[in-house]
């Protein structure tokens, strides 16, 4: 474990983790086993109490950088890793996922051959409790302008993405006020302004179904996506052609969430979300030109 590395690598890999020592070992080894060797692995321990630091020490690889912080959430941990990253290309890996051996090699090659590409993602294999899942059509991955798809759902997985460092200077970091759906928010901000590139291969193994997944912790995940769209609409730099679709999706998600509130005997909250889109109608008007 090396906290004072010397040469700058070509790729920085950031793994945020919290009490996932068992999963983390598999994730980290999938990074260190990449055919592309010129990388650093930054593991940000978000206040774990399960022996995570000892698990990292067992990796015994000088490319590993380990930092620990008080528990502040996944966005804070990712942002800490971004701040420490020394490479011009940054990739993310969730601590319960893993990469196939040529993932970084293929993405780095794509970035090199497409200098205008700011973000490249890959396809992924899905497993739940050890069983392979076939994604639905709506989860099919795409390249180019995917803003509309990104409004509907998180169209890219964090573990599939490689970005240029300049992206963070332009659109900012992960939103630390969002305990979940921070990836939805970040990718929505990106796709509102830029197309995405895509390596059409299943280079990420995504695991689901375990009890500590954040998606199982919070009621009504759409309220966080609603907050992300509302923030986007308040941005005066949002291209004008994006405002109408964003407001339409805001209205749809508010109606769906309001129905859920009524079902759970929360009439006041239901009414709040039913009326929320009307406060944003003014944002449907002109903004920054496309």
Specify the pLDDT at position 215.
53
Domain layout of the chain by residue ranges = 11-216, 222-283
CA torsion angle 248 146 167 230 (round to 10): 10
Neighbours of 271 (CB within 10 A): 13
- Provide mean pLDDT across the span 269-273: 91
**Residue 1 confidence class, pLDDT cut points 50, 70, 90:** low
CATH hierarchy code of domain 11-216:
3.90.550.10
Cα separation, 46 vs 278, in Å, equals 39
Query: Residue 196 has which token pair?
Result: 């995405």
What phi and psi values does residue 160 have, to the nearest 5 degrees? Answer: -100, -5
| Mean pLDDT for the chain overall | 91
Specify the pLDDT at position 24.
96
Relative to beta strand 119-128, strand 162-164 is antiparallel
β-sheet bridge partners, residue 62: none
Output the pTM of the full model.
0.90
Specify the pLDDT at position 290.
44
Neighbours of 289 (CB within 10 A): 7
Cα separation, 106 vs 59, in Å, equals 24
Give per-residue pLDDT as tens, 127-142.
877 777 777 677 789 9
Give per-residue pLDDT as tens, 196-248.
999 999 999 998 755 555 555 666 899 999 999 999 999 999 998 999 999 99
Specify the pLDDT at position 210.
55
Residues above pLDDT 90, as percent of the chain? 79
Cα separation, 246 vs 243, in Å, equals 5
Q: What contacts 263, CB < 8 A, 6 or more positions away? A: none
Residues above pLDDT 70, as percent of the chain? 90
- Provide mean pLDDT across the span 88-117: 97
2, pLDDT greater than 60: no
Neighbours of 252 (CB within 10 A): 16
Specify the pLDDT at position 57.
93
Specify the pLDDT at position 98.
97
Specify the pLDDT at position 127.
86
286, pLDDT greater than 60: no
**Residue 285 confidence class, pLDDT cut points 50, 70, 90:** low
């Amino acid at each position: 474990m090396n906290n004072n590395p010397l040469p700058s690598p070509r790729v920085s890999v950031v793994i945020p983790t919290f009490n996932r020592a068992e999963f983390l070992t598999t994730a980290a080894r999938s990074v260190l086993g990449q055919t592309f060797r010129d990388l650093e692995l930054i593991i940000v321990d978000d206040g774990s109490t399960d022996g995570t630091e000892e698990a990292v020490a067992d990796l015994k690889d000088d490319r590993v950088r380990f930092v620990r912080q008080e528990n502040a959430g996944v966005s804070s941990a990712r942002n800490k890793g971004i701040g420490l990253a020394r490479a011009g290309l940054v990739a993310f890996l969730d601590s319960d996922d893993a990469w196939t051996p040529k993932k970084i090699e293929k993405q780095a090659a794509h970035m090199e051959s497409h200098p205008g590409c700011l973000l490249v993602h890959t396809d992924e294999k899905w497993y739940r409790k050890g069983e392979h899942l076939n994604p639905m059509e709506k989860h099919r991955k795409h390249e180019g302008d995917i803003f509309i798809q990104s409004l509907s759902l998180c169209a890219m997985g964090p573990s599939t993405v490689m970005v240029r460092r300049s992206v963070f200077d332009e659109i900012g970091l992960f939103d630390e006020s969002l305990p979940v759906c921070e990836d939805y928010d970040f990718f929505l901000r990106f796709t509102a302004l830029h197309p995405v590139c895509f390596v059409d291969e299943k280079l990420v193994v995504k695991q689901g179904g375990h009890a500590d997944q954040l998606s199982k912790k919070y009621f009504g995940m759409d309220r966080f996506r609603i907050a992300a769209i509302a923030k986007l609409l308040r941005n005066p730099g949002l291209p004008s052609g994006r405002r109408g679709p964003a407001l339409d999706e805001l209205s749809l998600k508010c109606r769906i969430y309001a129905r859920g509130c009524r079902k759970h005997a929360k009439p006041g909250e239901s009414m709040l979300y039913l009326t929320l889109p009307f406060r944003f109608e003014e944002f449907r008007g002109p903004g920054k030109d496309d």
